[in-house]
Structures are given as structure tokens and as C-alpha cells.
């Protein structure tokens, strides 16, 4: 191998690694946007603002679609690096970084750690939002049950309806005409 071939290979590798760093930075920014939406969703769930919840959910779906695209791009870039380095498989980004020059390795590891921390924060926030949603659904179910739970002791519309059944039956719509 002559010096020109080595330089070209190094340049090519550097280009793929730079693309990976760019993709990881973009991925971090997208997840930050998602985290902001999740925080807003948390506040909206507490307020009970259904219209705003629908708007935030729509934005989340859009961000998730972009996440899928950037994930595909990152995966393709990693595939290029593996091909260029003649590596069959790596378990993690950390393992991949061990095959990359030291100056870029530190940047990739730092980005991976930033992403990991942000993803943990998103997971915790999503867990809290899930609990709030379940709590809201339980509250709604409780209210529906209150409104629809009528004692079935007597049939007030049948021929056997007696006054005692009518007096003890809860009437949720008690209004005088």
C-alpha cells in the first residue's frame, strides 16, 4: 500500500466518522425536542387540557417519525464504518469507538453519554406521564361508573315497581319540574 492509498482510506474513514458525529448530534437535538414536548405534555396532563394534549401528541408523532429517519441514517453510517474497517459486528457504540482514532473516539463517547442521560430523563418523564394518563383514565372510569351504576333491585318501568324501590334508588338527575 502506498501513501496515497493510505491517505485516501484515512480521509474516507474520517468522512464516515464525521458523518456519525453529525448524526449523533442531530439525534441528540431531536431527543431534546422530544423531551421538551414530554415536559409540556406533563403540564398539560396535570391541567387536563384535552385540546392541547391532542396538539402535543401530534407533534410527538412528528418528532418520532424524524427519530426513525435519523436512526436509519446513523445505522447506515455505522454500517459504512464497519465495512471500511472490515469489522463484522459491534455490540455497541462504545465498541465501535474503540476502532476509531482517539481524537474522534472521545467525541463519540461523549455524545453517546449525553444521549444516554437524555434518554433516561425521557424514560422517567414518559413513565410519569403514563401514570398521569392511567390516573386520569381511572378517574374517568370511576365517574362513568358513578353515573351509570344504578341499583337493579326493582324495575321502575315494570308493573311491579313499588314506592319503596323508587325512594331508595339513587337519582343522579334530581330536578323539580
For residue 80, the model assigns a pLDDT of 95
* Residue 123: C-alpha distances to residues 34, 127, 129, 164 (Å): 11, 6, 10, 56
Q: What is the per-residue DSSP string for 118-167?
A: HHHHHHHHHHHHHHHHHHHHHHHHHHHHHHH----SS-TTSTT--HHHHH
Answer whether residue 52 is part of any domain.
yes
Q: What is the pLDDT of residues 99-127, one digit of tens each?
A: 999 999 999 999 999 999 999 999 999 99
51 — phi, psi (to 5°)? -60, -45
Answer whether residue 48 is part of any domain.
yes
Q: How many domains does the chain have?
A: 1
Answer whether residue 53 is part of any domain.
yes
For residue 165, the model assigns a pLDDT of 53
Domain of 130: which CATH number?
Answer: 1.20.58
If one compares 140 and 115, the residue with the highest pLDDT of the two is 115
Answer whether residue 26 is part of any domain.
yes
Answer whether residue 169 is part of any domain.
no
Residue-range definition of the domain harbouring residue 55: 3-151
The rounded mean pLDDT for the chain is 83
For residue 137, the model assigns a pLDDT of 86
Q: Is the pLDDT of residue 85 over 90?
A: yes
* Residue 88: C-alpha distances to residues 3, 81, 84 (Å): 26, 10, 10
Q: What mean pLDDT is predicted for residues 25-48?
A: 94
Q: What is the pLDDT of residues 67-83, one digit of tens each?
A: 999 999 999 999 999 99
pTM score of the predicted model = 0.72
**pLDDT interval class at 164 (50, 70, 90):** low
Answer whether residue 162 is part of any domain.
no
Answer whether residue 156 is part of any domain.
no
For residue 172, the model assigns a pLDDT of 54
Answer whether residue 170 is part of any domain.
no
114: which 3 cell numbers? 449525553
Among 78, 126, 120, residue whose Cα is nearest residue 99:
78
Among 76, 74, 62, 93, residue whose Cα is nearest residue 27:
74
Amino acid at each position: 500500500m502506498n501513501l496515497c492509498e493510505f491517505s485516501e482510506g484515512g480521509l474516507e474513514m474520517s468522512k464516515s466518522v464525521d458523518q456519525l458525529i453529525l448524526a449523533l448530534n442531530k439525534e441528540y437535538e431531536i431527543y431534546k425536542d422530544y423531551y421538551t414536548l414530554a415536559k409540556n405534555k406533563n403540564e398539560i396532563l396535570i391541567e387536563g387540557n384535552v385540546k392541547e394534549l391532542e396538539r402535543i401528541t401530534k407533534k410527538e408523532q412528528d418528532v418520532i417519525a424524524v427519530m426513525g429517519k435519523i436512526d436509519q441514517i446513523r445505522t447506515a453510517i455505522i454500517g459504512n464504518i464497519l465495512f471500511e474497517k472490515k469489522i463484522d459486528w459491534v455490540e455497541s457504540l462504545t465498541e465501535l469507538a474503540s476502532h476509531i482514532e482517539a481524537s474522534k473516539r472521545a467525541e463519540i463517547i461523549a455524545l453517546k453519554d449525553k444521549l444516554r442521560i437524555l434518554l433516561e430523563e425521557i424514560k422517567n418523564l414518559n413513565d410519569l406521564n403514563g401514570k398521569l394518563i392511567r390516573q386520569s383514565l381511572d378517574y374517568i372510569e370511576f365517574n362513568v361508573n358513578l353515573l351509570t351504576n344504578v341499583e337493579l333491585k326493582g324495575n321502575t318501568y315494570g308493573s311491579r315497581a313499588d314506592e319503596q324501590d323508587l325512594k331508595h334508588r339513587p337519582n343522579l338527575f334530581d330536578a323539580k319540574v
